[in-house]
Amino acid sequence: MKLGVLFSGGKDSAYACWRAMQHEEVACLVSVLSRNEESYMFHTPNVRWVPLQAEASGIPLVQGETEGKQEEELADLQQVIRLAVERYGIEGVVTGALQSVYQASRIQRICADLALWCFNPLWHEDPHQYLEGLVSHGFRAVIAGVFSRPFDASWLGRELDRTTVRELEGIARTHRITLTGEGGEYETYILDAPFFRKRIVVQESESEFRHDRGVYRITRAALEEK
C-alpha cells in the first residue's frame, strides 16, 4: 500500500515514518507550513527545514501552507493530502499521533472524507519505551522549542539522548508534563534517522527564550555522508 506520512520534522513523525516503511511503501512525506506559531495541528519550529530532511531520506515531499487558523488549517491539510494522492497515488496517511484524540480524530475524518486509510502506528505507545527506542534505533533529535515550565534556555538545541530522556522523565514526574512532549511542552527536530541516507549538520542557529517559551531556529544547515 502506498502511503504518505504527515511529516512535521519532529521525532514523532520521523519514527512513525520509519515504522510505516517496515510494513508498507512510503511514497511521500506530506508537510504543512503554518504561519501561526500557536497552530493547534502543526508543529512549527524549523518546519521550513523539512525539505532538507526529505532530501536526506530520499523520499519525495509534498508541501503546502496554511495561515494556521483553527479548523481552517484542516481544510488546508486536506488540500495538501489530495495533492499527494494526485502526484504519488497514495492510498493512506500515516501520523505520529501518540495520545492526542484531538489530532488523531481530525486526521481520521480527513482520511475518511478522502477515502484513504489512516494509520497511527505510535498510538498509545508507552512513553518511556518509545523514547528509549528512538534513541537506541539511531534517531538523532534536538530540542527545537520549549513551551512550558520548568524548561529554560539551556534546553534549546540540546540533543535528545539518554541523559536528556532521563531528565525529561524526572520533569514529567514533578511538573505534570507529557514525557513525549505531545502536550506541546517541547518540540524536536530530527537530524538523523535510520532511513536517512545522509545526516543533517546544523551550521548556524539562533535561540530565543522569553516568558517560559523558547525556540531554537536553524539558520544554516547542510547534509553530510553517513
Partner 1 sequence: MILIVDLCYREGSLSAFEFVKPVAGIVRGNEFPLQIRHRSRLTPQDLASAERIILCGTALRDSAFAGHPQTFAWIKRVRVPVLGICSGMQAMALAFGGSLTPSREIGMTEVRCTCPDPLLEGHGRFSAYEVHGAGVVPPPGFTVLAESDRCIQAIRHPDLPFYGILFHPEVRNEWVVERFLTLSWRIC
Closer CB to partner 1, 20 or 85, in the complex: 20
Q: Is 198 exposed, middle or buried (0-12, 13-18, 19+ CB in 10 A)?
A: middle
Write down the least CB distance from residue 190 to partner 1, Å.
Answer: 20
CB of 161 to partner 1, least distance (A): 25
Give the contact letters, 166-205, x = binds to partner 1 (CB under 8 A), - = no. ----------------------------------------
Residue-wise DSSP of 134-203: HHHTT-EEEEEEE-STT--GGGTT-B--HHHHHHHHHHHHHH---TT-TTSSEEEEEEE-TT-SEEEEEE
Q: Is 29 in the site for partner 1 (CB under 8 A)?
A: no
Question: Which of 33/114 has CB closer to partner 1?
Answer: 114
Provide the minimum distance between the beta carbon of 92 and partner 1 in the complex, in angstroms, as a whole number.
Answer: 8
Q: CA 206, CA 211: separation in Å to the nearest integer?
A: 17
Q: Contact 84/30 with Cβ under 8 angstroms?
A: yes
The pair phi, psi for residue 175, each rounded to 5°, is -120, 10
Please, what is the minimum distance in Å from the beta carbon of residue 29 to partner 1?
16
User: Three-state SS for 56?
Assistant: helix
Residue pair 206/37 in contact (Cβ under 8 Å)? The answer is: no
Residue 37 C-beta-side C-alpha neighbours within 13 Å: 11
| Count, residues near partner 1 per rule CB under 8 A | 25
20 binds partner 1 (CB under 8 A): yes
Q: Sheet harboring 198-210: ordered strands across? A: 186-192, 140-146, 213-225, 198-210
Q: Which is nearer to partner 1, 20 or 27 (CB)?
A: 20
CA distance 80 to 15: 21
* Interaction residues for partner 1, span 70-109 (CB under 8 A): 92, 94, 101, 105-106, 108-109
Strand partners, 142: 159, 189
Residue 71 beta carbon to partner 1: minimum distance, rounded to whole angstroms:
13
Does 224 bind partner 1 (CB under 8 A)? Our answer is no
Site string for partner 1, 113-152 (x = CB under 8 A): --xxxxxxxxxxxx--------------------------
Told to check if 40 binds partner 1 by CB under 8 A, we report no
Question: Is the Cβ of residue 150 or residue 194 nearer to partner 1 in the bound state?
Answer: 194
**Interface residue list for partner 1 (CB under 8 A):** 19-20, 23-24, 92, 94, 101, 105-106, 108-109, 111-112, 115-126
